[in-house]
Amino acid sequence: MSWLESLTLTSPSGFWNPLLWLAFLVIFAVIGYIIYSRGNRSYKPNTEQVKPFISGNAVEDVEQIRVRAGDIYWGFMEALKGYYAVLMRMHTGDVRDYILWYLGIGAIILFILLGGV
């Protein structure tokens, strides 16, 4: 068994040889470089040429033109502004507040249930 064969892994569906893989990698890299070197050198990076065409208008900052997932709910938020304003004030992000709400509402439910007996 030669050293090349010793590196080759054969299987019923084919074979694998890292040196062969490397050789192909080099060949394709060379082909890629040849294609790249024939490219249009009059291309000007970092100019208007690389920016999207928006009928001649300036391209705004991506943060200003991006449609976020939350924007889907814009209609609901606008229509129910008053309701959401109250809810959002209640959402403090503090877990202790939520536990307090949980205990408070639980106490009210318990009171109603016990009061009903």
Partner 1 sequence: MGKLTNFKRSIWVFHASGGSCNACDIEIVAVLTPRYDVERFGIKLVGSPRHADVLLVTGAIPRDFADKLRRVYEQMPDPKAVVVVGSCGTTGGVFYDSYNIAGPIDEIIPVDVYVPGCPPRPEAIIDGVVKAWLKIEKLEKELEKKGGAGE
In this chain, which stretch among 43-51, 68-76, 94-102, 106-114 interacts with partner 1, using CB under 8 A? 43-51
Which of 77, 79, 59 minimizes the C-alpha distance to 68? 77
Q: How would you write 96-110 as a 3-class SS string? A: HHHHHHHHHHHHHHH
In this chain, which stretch among 19-27, 31-39, 76-84, 98-106 interacts with partner 1, using CB under 8 A? 31-39
CB of residue 30 to partner 1, shortest distance in Å: 17
CB of residue 34 to partner 1, shortest distance in Å: 11
Among 2, 13, 37, 46, binds partner 1 (CB under 8 A): 37
Q: Which residue is associated with the tokens 């009171």?
A: 111
Residues 54-83 that bind partner 1 (CB under 8 A): 55-58
To which H or E segment does residue 8 belong? none
* Dihedral, CA of residue 11, residue 17, residue 20 and residue 25, to nearest 10: 100
In this chain, which stretch among 52-60, 69-77, 95-103, 107-115 interacts with partner 1, using CB under 8 A? 52-60
